Amino acid sequence: MTLFRHPEDRIPVLLFACVFALDLTVYFTAQSWWLPLLWFGVMIIPKGWISAWNHHHQHLTMFRHAVPNRLLEIIFGFQTGVTSHTWFLHHVVGHHLNYMDQEKDESTWKRPDGTTMGEVEYALKTALTAYPRAYSVGRERHPKALRIFLSMIAVQVALLGVLFWHNAYNALFVFLLPMCVSIYVTSWATYFHHVGLETKKHQEASYNILHAGYNLMTGNLGYHTAHHTKQGLHWSKLPQLHAQMARDIPANLYRQPGIPFVWGASEAKLELSVEEIEALATQRTAAGT
């Protein structure tokens, strides 16, 4: 029996571990004020991508056993600001059940008066309420997951405290600020997944991104309709499910990816013609991908 549930997760986990090793290297060796600051700026976007993989992990854990999963979640916590079981409670057993009901959705894009939030408002509100909402879902419906959530927060805070005790300046720029920025960037990115879509049909409730580079870096998160249709499906299998569903997804529910993939692009949204959707579905089905 292998350590991983799916062999496709081996390379991503190795990359996350390498990034964390680089974080620790900068933290322990940087003597000048500018190197931790530079590292913080350089890693904002990559750690935003890692947030997508943390999301995948909390849908379907990458390891078969609890101990390596908890260790990986500590790494994810330092890289993304989202600790163990936070997205499980807020997102997996929260948002995924309620995303088509904006009165219940843990990631609601509507204000109480029914109007649509702006990007910054939504991102700030979602980021600042992520932990309280996760706690609320756990307290009401998932006490076992809540216990892991709270205990792992304690571990994460204790480790961060030790890092600050050892070198507060480096800990601030290598760990704490990236954690805060990553959870904001992640929340901002999710604004474009569902905003403005009021429907009771899964195939009409999410925007999709087919950009190859975006899906490489986010583990096929662009196939968002497929993800919401079968949220427990491994990320590597989402393109196949999307191909099966493509004819039922309206052409206006395709978007361009965000930064850095669209720097210089003039259009914010990409709409596919019926012919293009048919060609995509036929091509992927024939290729078995």
Q: 270 pLDDT exceeds 60?
A: no
Q: Judge whether 225 and 246 are in contact, CB under 8 Å.
A: no
Whole-number mean pLDDT of the chain?
91
Of 183-187, 219-223, 261-265, which range is least confident?
261-265
pLDDT at 261: 80
Same domain for 63 and 42:
yes
pLDDT at 277: 59
Same domain for 286 and 151:
no
Same domain for 116 and 54:
yes
pLDDT at 265: 47
Percent of the chain surpassing pLDDT 90: 85
Same domain for 218 and 169:
no
Domain termination site, one of 197, 215, 246:
197
Please, how many CA atoms are within 13 Å of residue 146, restricted to the half-sphere of its CB?
Answer: 12
Q: 289 pLDDT exceeds 70?
A: no
Same domain for 158 and 79:
yes
pLDDT at 260: 82
CA distance 269 to 279: 20
Q: pLDDT: is 260 or 143 the higher one? A: 143
Percent of the chain surpassing pLDDT 70: 90
Same domain for 75 and 167:
yes
CA distance 186 to 198: 22
Q: 83 pLDDT exceeds 80?
A: yes
Same domain for 173 and 271:
no
Of 17-31, 149-163, 241-255, which range is least confident?
241-255
What are the φ and ψ backbone dihedral angles of 4, each rounded to 5 degrees? -90, 145
pLDDT in tens, 99-129: 999 999 999 999 999 999 999 999 999 999 9
Q: Judge whether 170 and 126 are in contact, CB under 8 Å.
A: no
Helix (H, G, I), strand (E, B) or coil at 254: strand
pLDDT at 257: 87
Average pLDDT for residues 175-186, to the nearest whole number? 97
Q: 205 pLDDT exceeds 50?
A: yes
Q: Which residues on neighbouring strands pair with residue 103, listed in sequence order?
A: none
Domain termination site, one of 150, 170, 197:
197
Same domain for 186 and 79:
yes
Among 47, 49, 52, smallest CA distance to 23 is for: 47
Same domain for 277 and 183:
no
Domain termination site, one of 197, 220, 236:
197
Domain span holding position 226: 199-289
Of 35-49, 111-125, 248-262, which range is least confident?
248-262
User: For the chain, what is the domain count?
Assistant: 2
pLDDT at 271: 53
Average pLDDT for residues 223-252, to the nearest whole number? 94
Same domain for 155 and 288:
no
CA distance 120 to 157: 27
Average pLDDT for residues 272-288, to the nearest whole number? 55
Read off the pTM.
0.90
- In Å, what is the CA distance from 111 to each residue of 80, 108, 135, 169, 195? 26, 8, 21, 38, 12
pLDDT at 264: 47
| Residues 151/22/81/56 CA torsion (nearest 10 deg) | -90
- Tokens 């499980």 sit on residue: 88
Query: What tokens does 146 get?
Result: 């809540």
Q: pLDDT: is 289 or 35 the higher one? A: 35
Among 66, 73, 52, 64, smallest CA distance to 153 is for: 73
Same domain for 35 and 138:
yes
CA distance 274 to 154: 51
Same domain for 147 and 213:
no
